Structure formats: structure tokens, C-alpha cells
Amino acid sequence: MSELKTALVTGGGRGIGRAVCLALARGGASVAVNYASGEARAAETAAMIDAAGGHAVIVRADVSVFSECEEMFARVRAELGEVDILVNNAGITRDNLLPRMTPEEFASVLGVNLSGAFHCLKLASRGMIKNRRGRIVNIASVAGLVGNAGQTNYAASKAGVIALTKSAAREMAKRGVTVNAVAPGFIETDMTSPLGEDIRAEMLKNIPEGRFGAPEDVAAAVAFLCSDAAAYITGQVLAVDGGMTMGG
Ligand code: NAP
């Protein structure tokens, strides 16, 4: 079993975050399942882990608010010990075309997706550096690699997450801490379920594998990057997108 024992997954109640929680628990980690407002779903994730013989707690915090993140880390430390695996998964969209996008829509997406990742990274880093061990995986998006019309706010936040990942990876590389990003393509979750059939059909044309991804596809990549086997991988962006963004 891995030496890394305590994982914190932001937005772990549903979608990709839930699949990540389950995968890390299967790998032997105790898991703190963070949520912002979906307490029942987070409790469901924790119950699934407990039922499989693992150990989980749920912890509320809006990751865009630093003081709430501080309280969350203090609680997780008290209940599970120092965090040695952090998965920054919490994310939102507020899509709009540029002329209609409000400054509030821009700021709220940057606040959760980018500042939220920074807050948790900062709070996890001290303990990881001290213990000279840690795994951080930030969930970016292919939108942060290639952009997406109607998502200037979201794509900017995810490009920011990628730069955050590389800079943190350089900062902590000599301290036994790896920092990587996973960039999902189109994954079937609450985030993508509102998209209409016409948009889905159009997107499918750009996916060489010819299918949308499942949360478990992303979770498998995250679990690998959090494992002992990935000790020599840092500062990387792994696209899990059915081939959508492969280079030409
Ligand atoms: P989802 O089903 O909409 O779930 C979003 C999660 O984020 C929920 O657990 C939610 O918690 C949490 N969250 C939202 N705002 C939060 C806040 N302020 N503080 C703490 N938690 C917050 O989305 P998903 O598809 O699983 O996406 C997960 C991640 O993958 C996101 O970063 C997203 O950008 C990224 N991603 C998704 C896709 C895709 O196709 N689905 C593609 C690329 C990247 P509550 O339940 O408490 O609201």
C-alpha cells in the first residue's frame, strides 16, 4: 500500500470528484470529501466508501473563500491527519458570449476554479513540504488548452490552473511533492447534462474515440498520478479526452 494516507478532494460529492474519492479510497487512502452546498451527495460518497471498507469524512467549505478553506484543513488535520493527497476538483461554469458576459460571471468562475485551487494548494503545501511527501492533482480542462467559445471565463480559469500546476511543481519538486493537472474533455456529469443534443452531436465529431467520457475515466488518471508509481512525473498536464486535443 502507498505511504500516502490522507486525501482531500474538493467537490467530492458528485461527478468526477465522487469517482476520484472512490478510486483513492480503493487505493487505501482515508478521504475527506469536500462540498459547498451538496451535503447529501457528499454524505452519499462517504457512505459508499465506508460500505466498501474504507474511511471517509465530509467537510463543507466554499473553496473560493480562504477562511473557509483554512477551517476545512484544520478539521481534516484533526480528524484524519496531515493531508498528503490533494485533488483540486471543485469547479463551476457560467457560460456566456463575450458581449453578454458580466464581470460577476467572470469573477465567480475565476474565484472557484482558480483561486479555490490556489487556496487549497497553499494550505496543503506546508505540511507536504515538511513531511517531504505529497501528491497534488488539479483538474483543469481541455478548454484551458485550446479555448472554447462562450467560455472565456472558464477557459481562462483552467489555463490559470495549468500555470499554477507547473509553477507549484517547480517550487516543490525537490521536496518529494508532485503537482500535476488532468485535463478532461467531455465527461458525462451534471456540468455537461444541460447541453442540447445538437451541441453533443457536434462535439462528438471532434472526439476520435467517438464517445463521451465517464467520471471513472478521469478518476483512473488521477489515481495513477497520486500513486507511488508516478513519483517521477511532475508539472504535467494529462488530457483525458478520447483523443480530442492530440497534437498534430
Ligand atoms: P459537477 O458535476 O458540476 O460537480 C461540481 C463539483 O464542484 C460539485 O461537487 C460541487 O459541490 C463542487 N463545487 C462547486 N463550487 C464549489 C465551491 N465554491 N466550493 C467547493 N466545491 C464546489 O462537475 P464535474 O463535471 O464533476 O466537474 C468536476 C471538475 O472537472 C471541475 O473542475 C470541472 O471544471 C472539470 N471538468 C469537467 C468536465 C466535464 O465534461 N464534466 C470537463 C473538463 C473539466 P456541491 O455539490 O456542493 O455543489
Report the pLDDT value the prediction gives residue 64, as an integer from 0 to 100.
Answer: 99
C-alpha 134 to ligand 1 mean position (Å): 23
Our answer on whether the CB atom of 184 is closer than 6 Å to any ligand 1 atom is yes
Name the domain count of the chain. 1
Read off the C-alpha cell for 239: 488530457
Our answer on whether the CB atom of 203 is closer than 6 Å to any ligand 1 atom is no
Q: What is the DSSP string of 84-117?
A: -EEEE---------TTT--HHHHHHHIIIIIIHH
Helix (H) or strand (E) holding 47: helix 39-51
- How confident is the model over 44-75, as pLDDT tens digits? 999 999 999 999 999 999 999 999 999 999 99
Our answer on whether the CB atom of 87 is closer than 6 Å to any ligand 1 atom is no
Rounded Cα–Cα distance for residues 68 and 66 (Å): 5
**What's the whole-number average pLDDT of the chain?**
97
Is 173 part of any domain?
A: yes
Cut 0.85: pTM above it: yes
pLDDT bin (cut points 50, 70, 90) of residue 90 is: very high
Residue that is written with C-alpha cell 466554499 in the block: 62
Is 1 part of any domain?
A: no
Helix (H) or strand (E) holding 136: strand 134-139
Q: Are 181 and 238 in contact (CB under 8 A)?
A: yes
Read off the C-alpha cell for 75: 478539521
Looking at the annotation, which residues are catalytic?
154
* Mean pLDDT, range 78-102, rounded to an integer: 98
Residue 6 β-bridge partners: 30
Q: Are 90 and 17 in contact (CB under 8 A)?
A: yes
Rounded Cα–Cα distance for residues 95 and 154 (Å): 8
Read off the C-alpha cell for 182: 488532468
- How confident is the model over 161-207, as pLDDT tens digits? 999 999 999 999 999 999 999 999 999 999 999 999 999 999 999 99
Is 246 part of any domain?
A: no
The ligand 1 atom nearest the CA atom of 35: 47
Is 248 part of any domain?
A: no
pLDDT bin (cut points 50, 70, 90) of residue 1 is: very low
Is 220 part of any domain?
A: yes
Is 63 part of any domain?
A: yes
- Three-state DSSP class for 167? helix
- How confident is the model over 122-155, as pLDDT tens digits? 999 999 999 999 999 999 999 999 999 999 999 9
Range of the domain at 68: 6-240
Read off the C-alpha cell for 28: 487505501
Our answer on whether the CB atom of 120 is closer than 6 Å to any ligand 1 atom is no
- Three-state DSSP class for 4? coil
* Mean pLDDT, range 16-41, rounded to an integer: 98
The ligand 1 atom nearest the CA atom of 88: 32
Report the pLDDT value the prediction gives residue 247, as an integer from 0 to 100.
Answer: 75
- CATH number of the domain at 159, please: 3.40.50.720
